[in-house]
Amino acid sequence: MRKFGYILGDDRNGVLVLRENRVLIPLNLHNINKKQIYLRQTMFRLLDFLLERGSSGLLRDEVIMRVVWESYGLKSSAPRLWQVMNELNKKLWGLGIDKGFLCVLKVVAIW
């Protein structure tokens, strides 16, 4: 069975994510005038990967870059990951998804 998509938030105040078309559709009545947002392939792969694997805990940048960029023959970098993650967050926030939904943690070793 194929996965159709996701609902981020709830069905009254969230966003429908359709995998087939790489589109975000607002479900909130207050955002009804907002247009659906089509994501580029790499940005959608990032969102899809985070939704599929994010519940397993923290994901290392290297793993994300390998799966989302390098396995498709694209060059990856930490700044590019940060840029795409930031743009994705802005799109989600604009549709009413909480700012803490996707977050990037910078890990610093403490001795």
Which domains are assigned to the chain?
5-95 (1.10.10)
H helices of 8-105, in order, are 41-53, 61-68, 78-94
Q: What is the pLDDT of residues 35-58, one digit of tens each?
A: 889 999 999 999 999 999 877 778
pLDDT score for 58: 81
For residue 24, pLDDT over 90 is answered with: yes
Give the C-alpha separation, 89 to 80, whole Å.
14
For residue 111, pLDDT over 60 is answered with: no
